[in-house]
Amino acid sequence: MSLIQRVPARYLWPVLLLLGLCFGSILGLILVTTSAQDRLEAVRETRTLEAALATSVSMVEHDLQDYAKWDDAVRHISYDFSAAWIDDNITAYLGKTQNYDHVFVIGPDGGTRYAFSNGNRSSSKLAEILGPSIQTAMAKVRAMDDRGTPIVSGFAREKRQVFVYSVAAVVPLTNKVSAPAGERHLLVIAERFDASHLANIRAKHHLPALALNLARPAPSSAALVLRDMDGNQIASVEIAFETPGTQFRREVIPGFAAIMVVAVIAALFILRQGGQSIAALTASQAKTQHLANHDPLTELPNRRVLLGRLNEAIATGNHFVLLYMDLDGFKGVNDLYGHGAGDALLREVASRLAAAAPAHSLIARTGGDEFAILCQLDVDGPGCSLAERIIASFQTTVPVAGANILIGISVGVVTSSSDALVDIDELMRRADVAMYNAKARGKNRWSDFTLELDEEHLVRKRLEQDLRIAIAENRIELAYQPIVLAESGAIVGLEALARWTHPTEGPIPPDVFIPLAEMTGLIGSLGGQVLRRACIDIKPLGIDLSVNLSPAQFWDAHLADQISAILADTGFPADRLELEITESYLLGRPQAAAAIMADLRTLGIRLALDDFGTGFASIGYLQSFKFDRLKIDKLFVKEAMGCASGRDLLVAIVALAQALGLRITAEGVETEDQAVLARAAGCHWLQGWLFGRPMPLSQLLQESSLRRETQKR
């Protein structure tokens, strides 16, 4: 009572009324549905029993029809009656294998010519076993056409024994024999229909208890009547219907009553603690709101919050600076160390941005590896000092997954101004343009937005679209530069170089469109197109082919598969292909680079280290990566002509390469004196303007001895 007294009356009686209505409705629904369930179960069991009884009759008919419609049966029964043949060919199966209680052969005159009863030949009469209705069944069979299957089946009763039987005329199956004129012989089989038969039906069809009643059933009993061929009721099968609904009701109602009591008590407690629930709901809504506005990984505000704050700043006219940032090399960290390491790196980035940003500024994560900072303009000046602090904070490595990772960040800066009101979409676009300009200028730096920069961005976007079309339409051209033997000057290979002539801008330098292809993800298609066409061009010449790999191509997980497919399609020998990579590929991720080089080497191609000496590759790298060739940068060839120390350095590089078992190519050979010096130093191959500038293959064939050498082959 104390609990009820604590519940306000204005809540108590409506709740009790509602509970009474609900539980009363549920109880009524239980009563209705369980009664319906009992009725449906009775209908199902009745129909199942009807089908089972029909099946019992049809099975007897099925067993008999193949023996009655049979040429041999006509010969040995209708023409040359043989009881022994019947024993061996009919009774052996029907009477002894199928265990039919009775097998009869009835002559044309209606007399019993053969009888088998209860396992033995007998002198039983058919009517004495199956009763008078069997005469009706035989008359129906005799009236049927021989061309069909003259057979009937049903139930019969004689005294207190019920049988299921089948009567069939002995007729030929084919036209090889014909039945004699006049009356036909009949074949009859019968099986006792008793408690054991009903037990089999019950087990097979999962029915409840069945009983055979030889007396007339009571009107209220659940029974199926069995009738003979004359339509007389001879017995009934009584069924004790299962009542799953009633059983369910008996089991459920006590528990239902207990639940109702518990529900009433629980409702009272709920009313009492309603205030606490409302408070908890308010807290949950606040948490949901937090999740909707924050990145779950870094706990920073998300893009939605950033856009909202930008909208407020624009509406109020406050001056602000927006920094839009993208990490340099984040995809490589994910690929090499896994997404768990990438997540840890993003959390560290958020921490460093928070340390660099001024107080009261908004730091947001706007995408995968993209971040933004929004702060008042008077807090940090024009934004350049904040951008410089952010870039400086990424000069130290980040410990992730057991490795110290050095990652850069490109920053775009947009400053609001009273004379250039723009909307949010334009602000974000300008920030994106400035950020991508920082990436285009070498990454890990910042760029302020200017209208001139916007024009450059639009030009770059148009150039990107034109490059995409040029690659799709196979309009990238190839130029080839000879590689010659140092001793004889004979051309032993060609280096393939991509060239693009814009339809309106004219020739676009490779140092412009190659980085553009890398930034836009077109480098894979471009590189594959260059390699395929070069293989087709150079294959008939019987010389080596050298092709440069860009960093984006080198780190493509499908590089080896792409090259293998091109070699297979073009038929170019793998041992004549040499791929050139630079030292920078090896420094950041040496283990991953070694794995890629091993995959490439299994194809049978050669690998050359290009521009050696301009990077930071150590002797250990040269030993570990096992290059086939080393290409000395043209700077060393040029400096060797100017001073003795330059010549000594060139000789030392060649000696180092020879000690490691590498073949050497000197690049940038422009004069005969440089060629003489490179030969004297021990270089095996030479390449440079002295032997030919990059030019189309047709021009190269006309100006060199390659055409004559090819014709000789």
- pLDDT of 425 over the 70 cut: yes
* Whether 190 contacts 101, CB under 8 Å: yes
Mean per-residue pLDDT over the chain, rounded: 84
In this prediction, residue 279 carries a pLDDT of 46
In this prediction, residue 278 carries a pLDDT of 45
- pLDDT of 350 over the 50 cut: yes
Partners of 446 in the beta sheet?
411
Query: Tokens 């108590």 identify what position?
Result: 12
485 C-beta neighbours (distance < 10 Å), count = 14
Give the model's confidence band at 7: pLDDT under 50 very low, under 70 low, under 90 confident, else very high: low
Give the model's confidence band at 650: pLDDT under 50 very low, under 70 low, under 90 confident, else very high: confident
In this prediction, residue 407 carries a pLDDT of 86
Give the model's confidence band at 464: pLDDT under 50 very low, under 70 low, under 90 confident, else very high: confident
| Alpha-carbon dihedral angle through residues 243, 247, 249, 251, given to the nearest 10 degrees | -170
End-to-end Cα distance, the chain? 112
- pLDDT of 182 over the 70 cut: yes
Rounded to whole angstroms, the Cα distance separating 56 from 200 reads 11
Rounded to whole angstroms, the Cα distance separating 115 from 99 reads 15
- pLDDT of 97 over the 80 cut: yes
Give the model's confidence band at 658: pLDDT under 50 very low, under 70 low, under 90 confident, else very high: confident
Least confident of 143-147, 204-208, 272-276, 521-525: 272-276
- pLDDT of 690 over the 70 cut: yes
Give the model's confidence band at 382: pLDDT under 50 very low, under 70 low, under 90 confident, else very high: low
- pLDDT of 498 over the 90 cut: yes
- Helices 330-337 + 339-356 axis angle, to 10: 140
- Three-state secondary-structure class, residue 643: coil
Rounded to whole angstroms, the Cα distance separating 394 from 66 reads 94
Q: Is 661 left (phi over 0), alpha (psi -120 to 50) or beta?
A: left
Least confident of 142-156, 307-321, 577-591: 577-591
578-633 residue pLDDT tens: 999 887 666 656 777 888 888 999 999 999 988 776 655 556 666 777 788 988 88
Rounded to whole angstroms, the Cα distance separating 70 from 5 reads 92
Buried b (16+ CB within 10 A) or exposed e, 102-127: bbbbbbeeeebbbbbbeeeebeeebb
Listed in sequence order, the residues at least 6 apart from 571 whose beta carbon sits closer than 8 Å to its beta carbon are 539
In this prediction, residue 711 carries a pLDDT of 46
Listed in sequence order, the residues at least 6 apart from 117 whose beta carbon sits closer than 8 Å to its beta carbon are 101, 102, 124, 129
Least confident of 288-297, 341-350, 378-387, 410-419: 378-387
- pLDDT of 295 over the 50 cut: yes
* Whether 392 contacts 364, CB under 8 Å: no
Rounded to whole angstroms, the Cα distance separating 220 from 482 reads 110
Mean pLDDT, range 213-219, rounded to an integer: 77
CA distances from 409 to 357, 392, 674 (A): 15, 10, 43
Put the strands of the sheet holding 186-192 in their side by side order.
120-121, 112-117, 102-106, 186-192, 161-169, 151-158
Put the strands of the sheet holding 320-328 in their side by side order.
362-365, 370-376, 320-328, 408-415, 446-448
Number of H helices, E strands in the chain: 29, 25
pTM: 0.48
536-573 residue pLDDT tens: 999 999 999 999 988 778 888 888 999 999 999 999 99
Mean pLDDT, range 94-123, rounded to an integer: 90
In this prediction, residue 281 carries a pLDDT of 55
- pLDDT of 411 over the 90 cut: yes
Give the model's confidence band at 418: pLDDT under 50 very low, under 70 low, under 90 confident, else very high: very low
CA atoms within 13 A on the CB side of 265: 8
- pLDDT of 32 over the 60 cut: yes
* Whether 170 contacts 90, CB under 8 Å: no
* Beta-strand pair 120-121/112-117: antiparallel
Look at residues 602, 562, 573, 531 and name the one whose alpha carbon lies nearest to residue 594: 602
In this prediction, residue 90 carries a pLDDT of 92
204, burial (CB in 10 Å: exposed 0-12, middle 13-18, buried 19+) = exposed
Percent helix, strand and coil across the chain, each rounded to 5?
A: 50, 20, 25
491 C-beta neighbours (distance < 10 Å), count = 21
* Whether 178 contacts 249, CB under 8 Å: no
- Three-state secondary-structure class, residue 12: helix
Look at residues 255, 240, 169 and name the one whose alpha carbon lies nearest to residue 209: 240
In this prediction, residue 14 carries a pLDDT of 79
Instruction: Fill in the amino acid letter for 632.
Output: I
- pLDDT of 466 over the 80 cut: yes
